[in-house]
Amino acid sequence: MQSVISVSNLSKIYASGFEALKDVSLDIRRGEIFALLGPNGAGKTTLISIICGLVNASGGTIVADGYNIVTQYRQARARIGLVPQELTTDAFETVWDTVSFSRGLFGKRADPAYIEKTLKALSLWSKKDNKLITLSGGMKRRVLIAKALSHEPQILFLDEPTAGVDVELRKDMWELVRSLRANGVTVILTTHYIEEAEEMADRIGVISQGRIILVEEKKELMRKLGKKQLILQLHQPLRDVPAQLNGYGLMLSDDAKELTYTYDTQHNQTDITAMLADLHNAGIRFRDLRTRQSSLEDIFVTLVRETR
């Protein structure tokens, strides 16, 4: 698939001497939802800020929709919308004026019908004449999105879009992001909510200490690194796991009533059959069983820990 953003060998050293990005290369595909995950201070905001032209890189190149973000800044920037973490605009402006003004900043002709459509899609239409200062936190966040969409960008960056918003607004935002993608917009989001990435993303990039440590299709990531557990509820509590079952790495719960078998999702699953047969031969009976699949969160924690 064609890439819409191409980041090559990007580095950033802040004036303090701190190296926030180290040789980052990354391609974002046109029309995808890409989630950038990383612990605090990993470099997510720095990376987004450089792509959006708010912070200068120390080295490397970035091409957005065919335009170099330094030498063709205006063309590149016109294709990008950025939803920052916080609202910095004048609190006494109305919603309508703020969003319309934002469009004007990109040199786009006024288009009241488009602004109306955007405000309606974000459930802001009834608030269009309200001053920003009178809006709730969730509504201010919707205004940030409306502003970022005001100039009809093809690429949208969302920096922590749902931090601190309620469940309902979070679901609305997910819905909105999906509808943007359906209209061909590429969406790149940073998030601390791993369930958000799990729910939304087509691909996931993990950044840690200024380096991209992994980029993978979400499904593939979960299949490759995911582990499955088979948990058996025993008929009788078990004192020890019998020696003939040692090879399976079975874990006995503290109350001795459950045995857990962990296996690779890619692994040949005939091991399960053998394990169950050996269990039977050892005279161990179980009354019930369930399986558990590791979440993206388990995978993420392991990955980041390994690079520390």
Ligand X SMILES: Nc1ncnc2c1ncn2[C@@H]1O[C@H](COP(=O)(O)OP(=O)(O)OP(=O)(O)O)[C@@H](O)[C@H]1O
Question: Should residue 73 be labelled a site residue for ligand X when binding is judged by CB under 6 A?
Answer: no
CA Rg value for the chain: 25
Comparing CB distances to ligand X, the nearer of 17 and 107 is 17
The interface with ligand X within residues 11-30 (CB under 6 A) comprises 14, 16, 18, 20
Comparing CB distances to ligand X, the nearer of 59 and 249 is 59
For residues 140 to 179, the per-residue mask of contacts with ligand X, x marking binding by CB under 6 A and - elsewhere, is: ----------------------------------------
In order, the DSSP letters of 4-43 are EEEEEEEEEE-TTS-EEEEEEEEEEETT-EEEEE--TTSS
Smallest distance from the beta carbon of 201 to ligand X, in angstroms?
Answer: 17
Smallest distance from the beta carbon of 46 to ligand X, in angstroms?
Answer: 3
Smallest distance from the beta carbon of 25 to ligand X, in angstroms?
Answer: 17
CA 305 – CA 158 distance, rounded (Å): 26
Phi, psi (rounded to 5 degrees) for 140: -60, -35
In order, the DSSP letters of 167-224 are HHHHHHHHHHHHHHHHTT-EEEEE-S-HHHHHHH-SEEEEEETTEEEEEEEHHHHHHH
Q: 4, 7, 28, 46: which one contacts ligand X (CB under 6 A)?
A: 46
Q: 24, 37, 43, 206: which one contacts ligand X (CB under 6 A)?
A: 43
For residues 229 to 268, the per-residue mask of contacts with ligand X, x marking binding by CB under 6 A and - elsewhere, is: ----------------------------------------
Q: 38, 84, 153, 205: which one contacts ligand X (CB under 6 A)?
A: 38
Q: 5, 10, 28, 42: which one contacts ligand X (CB under 6 A)?
A: 42
3-state secondary structure 207-222: EECCEEEEEEEHHHHH
Q: Which stretch binds ligand X (CB under 6 A): 24-32, 38-46, 136-144, 229-237?
A: 38-46
Q: How far is CA 132 from CA 56, 87, 138, 179, 280, in A?
A: 30, 9, 11, 25, 68
Strand partners, 291: 230
CA 11 – CA 60 distance, rounded (Å): 6
Binding residues (CB under 6 A) for ligand X: these are 14, 16, 18, 20, 38, 40-46
